[in-house]
Structure 1
Amino acid sequence: MPEQTSKTYRVQGFSCAGCANTFEQNVKRLDGVTEASVNFGASKITVYGLTSREALEKAGSFENLKILDEKEKQEKQLPFWKQKETIKVYVSAILLLASWYVSSVLEDSWIPTIGYGASIVIGGYTLFRKGLKNLSRLQFDMSTLMTIAILGAAAIGEWGEGATVVILFAISEALETYSMDKARQSIASLMDIAPNEALVRRNEKEIVLRVEDIRLGDIMIVKPGQKLAMDGKVVRGASTINQAAITGESIPVAKTVADEVYAGTLNEEGLLEVEVTKRVEDTTLAKIIHLVEEAQAERAPSQAFVDKFAKYYTPVIIVIAFLIATLPPLFTGNWVDWIYQGLAVLVVGCPCALVVSTPVAIVTAIGNAAKNGVLIKGGIHLETAGALKAIAFDKTGTLTKGIPVVTEMEPFGSNREDVLRIAALLEKGSQHPLASAIIRKAEQEKVLEIGEVKDFQSVTGKGVQGNLDNIRYTLGSPSFLETVLGRMSSSQKSIIQDLEEKGNTVIVLGSQKEILGCLAIADEVRESSKRVIQKLYQVGIEKTIMLTGDNPRAAQAIGNQIGVTDIQAELLPQDKLEVIKGLRTTYKGVAMVGDGINDAPALAASSVGIAMGGAGTDTALETADIALMSDDLEKLPLTMKLSRRALAIIKQNISFSLAIKAAALLLVIPGWLTLWLAIFADMGATLLVTLNSLRLLRVKE
């Protein structure tokens, strides 16, 4: 779509997906509007072009929709049993019951017919207005089908059943609205996490400002027990911060000067002074809310199938209903009974349960995940994750802490300090993750000297070379040193092998003449890694694959410790990409878990890219399909469990919706399908599908 003016509004009052679609079409027809897109899950509309709130509210008048600015908080609505439309249903129900009673007492009286008629008009006024307008445009949606069925029932004298259908349909719509609101509450609660104002020091004065008026560089003063209103960096003080709202971690995190803090988190102990580093619309919490709302608009494969099916299903039902109402009477002459059966088929044809079967489940699952510190970027990723059998992990920084340390040093006939000094000087020019471990060790032992390495050369994935004091040194993997020098004694190989079998990565130092020594470097395994892998097996993951650039023996030692099923070692960055492509083919889909930065190509090539540490990196939030907001894997089993449960519930909902329709249609054959039974089947299916979806709110670790 070409660049053009766009504005997003919040919409209050959506009752169903069909109404949202009607509103979208109405807005597209407004003067000045070039395109419009409704996000039913998040109750939002994005309008391209120029229009006003008044014009949008007019486009939504059929549903009494209220339009608000995106940042404007929704007004608290009355409970549905107190709303104006519902009160009409109460009156309609009372008239229906009274008419039933009168008809049982007074036979052949016209009073019940008047009561039924009044019940139909009062309870179905809004429905008829929508239905007749749609009928005039030949738009056959739920309102159109119900209007034809109810008016048809009245026309053939079935006033009581027509009134019953009106009331049952109203109850069905109220329950659907209630369930959708319940599903959306997960996101609404996120929006209320951060305070609307904060105490700020500006120009040596302390003032309370609304978050919209706080500027970058302002100093925010946060007292114990207060929530942070903005993202920032601690400039004074120390405290523990409860970050559960952002990362899902229940254990508070210690924060001191220079540490990052996030809007919506709770300061538990000390007084903090925080320099504001992001505007209110750019905070991590704001990004999470935005991305979750966008995710709810993403159509999952099953939802796309349902929408496509419903598009053809409704016209087909209308044709079937027409044929039932007209063909049999040509042979039997019994027009009233067969027209009645045709009207009942129209009611059964309402695709309410089918249409709502997927979106409620997806909105509920994504909302539950967000509250637990997991950002799922759309229904398609939720469904894909739910069907996975294999997960690949980057080792460094994912299964391990990502902070390598030198554990052992073995000089081969050389001085120990010289080996460490030369290795550290060579690594000063390297970007390799292991370089920092060697330099830290040299600093600790105070052997890091100022020295200039000349003719420095880095060989990606293998090692480095350089001249020091007119001697050419090589530092790298054992295989690289053996290639360069062409020799390595059996005793040296044995020492290196022993170190590797303990889970170390071994770096060897050599000159042009001989091998001088080796350094063993290990990356500490996260305490949670083994526990997470075991939980993944419990939720149905069959294969866990560790990807690493380590040598096979070191990789095997760490892999055995953690409990992964497969290990791929000595991989260069491009090798990881190829491995992921192969795994996708082998297992018909694979997830890749990494830090979202170094593993970007592999994450992109996987079926589902899962990045961890999303709260601290914009890259993870933007590039991954799923982001674990904490810098840990603890929430991964919950993500897989929730995805699997959501996929199962979506399949159950679709199957049940179609089965109940088929069963009701079969009742036409013996002539047992009645109008009230048809609407009851439709309402019951919608209610059961909705309640089934809301079970996803209860999924926990």
Structure 2
Amino acid sequence: MTKKQKKMLQRILVSAVLYAAAIVIKHTIGPAKWVEFVLFAVPYLFISYDVLIKSCRNIMHGQVFDENFLMALASIGALALGEYSEAVAVMLFYQVGEWFQSYAVNKSRKSIAALMDIRPEFANIEVDGKLEEVDPEEVQVGQTIVINPGERVPLDGTVIKGDSSLDTSALTGESVPRSVHEGSEVISGCINQAGVLYVKVSRPYEDSTVAKILDLVENATNKKSRSEQFITKFARIYTPVVVCMALALAVLPSLFDGQWSVWIYRSLSFLVTSCPCALVISVPLSFFGGIGGASKKGILVKGSTYLQDLSEVRTLVFDKTGTITKGNFTVTNVEPVGMNSEQLLDLAALAESHSTHPIALSIRKAASKDLDINRVQDVREIAGHGIEAQIDGQKVCVGNAKMMDQKVPEGNGFGTCVYVSVNGGYRGMIEIADEIKEDSKTAIDLLRHFGVKRFIMLTGDTEKVAQKVAGTVHIDEVHAQLLPDQKVQILDQILKTKNEKEKVAFVGDGINDAPVLTQADVGIAMGGLGSDAAIEAADIVLMEDQLSQIVTAMQISKKTLRIVYENIWFALIVKALVLILAALGITNMWAAVFADVGVSFIAILNAMRALKVDKIRQ
């Protein structure tokens, strides 16, 4: 508990003791009315002073109709009618409900706050042969930092010396350590478990992975879901309406039968019952719990609106490379024309020497290690086609079939074909294969059980390869050989033809799919670990490069929405029933207290279930 919560709990306990003592004295001694008033006024003022002050302050600022006003009006009215015991009970149980709300919110915040523990406190730099601790924000790009065993990686960079394993669980939810060695990329927020690492910083702190994630999480609750927006608007209209109804209940019948105290008491019970605390508290708390539960599984949701939208996704659109497949390309076949295989690979590697695309990296890996990149000039990338460059004064083109000026052979294997031409003349083909992720097929099958009806794959790869991948993982519809702008156009068509109540999600690797991620109703970035584009463009970032995390995210989304609707209906039904009974005089203020505090308490307990992620049943 926080200090404020402990202090409030002490107030509640002291007030409860004073309240119990007043009841005992009342029923054993039977004191005079003014003595009874004093006995109950002491615990009343002790437990309610802050509510009374807030109510007065809000009235002065024009904010009349809130729960503080309702509780103050009802309890003071009960005191005026001589119902001292019930006046104290209203305030005491209201404060109990508020305390449980505070405790529940604090607990759900801790699941997200656990992610805040990734914030690095210092970075070690070597000065005159000694390690000096400095603020991570003071370290410049290019400087070398030293990370000892047990310390958190403070900045993104590349290992230049040392071998170790990193605990990435705070970022990904994955418990298996990740091995790193010289040349490995490391990201901030992980914990060094074994050896000393010397890391060359590649990005300043404000652009680091940990800074971006913290910013994302800290702002996650700012984007309210439609359910939260509805409850907020509902409460603004609902509260003044019930106050007017309570006033009418107190005045109109009394004009006919003259029983003012009876009808005023009923109207006060009506006011206590009508307090919208259960709705105003439990709905945001449910979404907060859902976001917290997702963060524990390495799923970062940028706001509750996206958590609600995810539950309504019926069409899921995928990128292929790095999403359904691993993106770990390897050269499986080389078919040169007029040169040997090594020469063809070297030529393609030189042309691709400045590219970071997975295909380019695989070609460079298969080529000779000592290539002179100074031979390469005037490199030009042609989107959706390939690379054009001047190598030793010759025009070399490396890319797909669209890049070639003549008909080229198709590959025989399960892979992507890269063609090479020199001065317009065809010089051969390099076939590169990619592996399908182990969980892709299982994840797509499970997503069907969560209500997704349509699966579509958009890829720049060949029709043959795309169809083979789609058939293996049970994807319904394929659009192949697409340029980046064509992916946007197709997604736009899908969005125009969908049902208004259904959502379309796009799943990409977050590196080159930013326009499509932004355009979709829900943009989901795969393998967002260290990817700036993923964190910037996506609505949901999956820190593990696994499709199965979408299943977990969908499960959390549906469970959270189910809890929200349970709380809404439960609160409305109980309150409506007690409001009617209170107006008819069948129930007293104790039932009203249950309809307010009791319902809020039950709704809060139910909302806390959103923090727990259930095991997926296959």
TM-score, shorter chain, exceeding 0.5: yes
**Given that residues 353 and 364 in structure 2 are in contact (C-alpha distance below 8 angstroms), is that contact kept between their aligned partners in structure 1?**
no
Structure 2, unaligned runs of 5 or more: none
* Residue 54 of structure 2: aligned partner: 130
Matched residue, 1:547: 458
Counterpart in 2 of 1:527?
Answer: 438
Q: Which residue of 1 aligns with 2:238?
A: 313
Aligned length: 609
Q: Relative to structure 1, is the Cα distance of residues 515 and 229 closer, same or farther in structure 2, using a 3 angstrom cutoff? A: closer
After TM superposition, the structure 1 = structure 2 runs for residues 365-384 of structure 1, keeping only pairs within 5 Å, are: 365-384=290-309
Residue 310 of structure 1 contacts residue 355 of structure 1 at CA under 8 Å; is this kept in 2? yes
| In 2, Cα distance between equivalents of 1:249 and 1:613 | 12
Q: Secondary structure at the match of 2:51?
A: helix
Q: Deviations over 1:264-301 (max 9, x none)?
A: 32222212223455555554223322221111122222
2:578 aligns to what? 664
Q: How does 1:676-687 map to 2 (within 5 A)?
A: 676-687=590-601
Contact 2:168-2:190 within 8 A present in 1 as well = yes
Q: Secondary structure at the match of 1:520?
A: strand
Q: Give the corresponding residue for 2:561.
A: 647
1:203-242 aligned at under 5 Å gives the runs 203-209=128-134, 219-242=144-167
Please tell me the residue identity of whatever aligns with 1:97.
Answer: A
1:584 offset after TM fit, Å? 2.4
Residue in 1 that maps onto 2:225? 300
Q: 1:637 to 1:517 in 2, by over 3 A?
A: same
Shift, 1:478, TM fit: 5.1
Q: C-alpha distance in 1, partners of 2:144/2:351?
A: 40
1:100 and 1:540, CA in 2 relative to 1: closer, same or farther beyond 3 A?
same
- Secondary structure, aligned partner of 1:593: strand
Q: Is 2:34 the counterpart of 1:120?
A: no
Query: Which residue, out of 304, 322, 325, partners 1:400?
Result: 325
Cα distance in 1 for partners of 2:377, 2:115 equals 56
- What letter matches 2:244 in structure 1? V
Encode CA deviations 1:375-413: one digit per residue, 9 max, x unaligned: 21111111111211222111112222224333224568x
Distance in 2, Cα, partners of 1:104 & 1:451: 99
Residue 362 (structure 1) aligns with? 287
Runs of 5+ unmatched residues, structure 1: 1-75
Match of 1:62 in 2: none
Q: Give distance in 1, aligned partners of 2:115 and 2:361.
A: 39
Structure 2 residue 386 is the aligned partner of structure 1 residue 386: no
Equivalent residue in structure 2 for 1:582, among 481, 493, 497: 493
- After superposition, the C-alpha distances for 1:535-579 in whole angstroms (9 at most, x for unaligned) are 433444333322112222211111222332332222221111122
- Contact 1:199-1:220 at 8 Å conserved across structures: yes
Separation in 1 of the partners of 2:353 and 2:136?
Answer: 44
Cα distance between partner residues in 2 of 1:285 and 1:470: 45
Quote the sequence identity (%).
36
Corresponding position of 1:289:
214
- Note if contact 1:430-1:464 (Cα within 8 Å) is conserved in structure 2: no
Q: Is the deviation greater in 525-534 or in 231-240?
A: 525-534
Which stretch of structure 1 is more off in the superposition, 431-440 or 615-624?
A: 431-440
The secondary structure found in structure 1 opposite 2:511 is coil
Query: CA deviation digits over 1:492-528, x for unaligned, max 9?
Result: 6xxx3xx45x432334567999977544332222333
Aligned to 1:152: 77
SS in 2 for 1:397: coil
Where 1:347 maps in the other structure, the secondary structure is helix
Cα distance in 2 for partners of 1:215, 1:461 equals: 36
Q: 1:418 to 1:668 in 2, by over 3 A?
A: closer
Instruction: Find the partner of 2:179 among 254, 264, 267.
Output: 254
Q: How does 1:138-537 map to 2 (within 5 A)?
A: 138=62, 139-194=64-119, 196-197=121-122, 199-209=124-134, 219-277=144-202, 283-410=208-335, 417=341, 420=344, 424=348, 427-428=351-352, 434-438=359-363, 440-443=365-368, 460-462=383-385, 477=400, 484-485=405-406, 496=410, 499=411, 502-507=413-418, 518-537=429-448
Contact 1:427 1:439 in 2 (8 A): no
Q: 1:361 to 1:466 in 2, by over 3 A?
A: closer
Q: For residues 414-459 of structure 1, what are the alpha-carbon distances to aligned partners after superposition, in whole Å with 9 as ceiling and x for unaligned?
A: 6654993697389559967645545554538x9x899989999876
The two structures have a TM-score, normalised by structure 2, of: 0.87
Q: How does 1:608-619 map to 2 (within 5 A)?
A: 608-619=522-533
CA RMSD of aligned residues (A): 3.5
Q: 1:591, 1:607 within 8 Å by CA — same for their partners in 2? A: yes
- Which deviates more from structure 2 when the two are superposed, residues 602-611 or residues 201-210? 201-210
**SS state of the match for residue 582, structure 2?**
coil
- 1-side partners of 2:384 and 2:212: how far apart? 36
Provide the C-alpha distance between the structure 1 equivalents of 2:523 and 2:111, rounded to a whole number of angstroms. 24
Kept in 2, the 8 Å contact 1:391–1:541? The answer is yes
Aligned in 2, Cα 1:521/1:321: closer, same or farther, shift over 3 Å?
same
Superposed, which structure 2 residues align to 1:554-633 within 5 Å? 554-587=465-498, 588-633=502-547
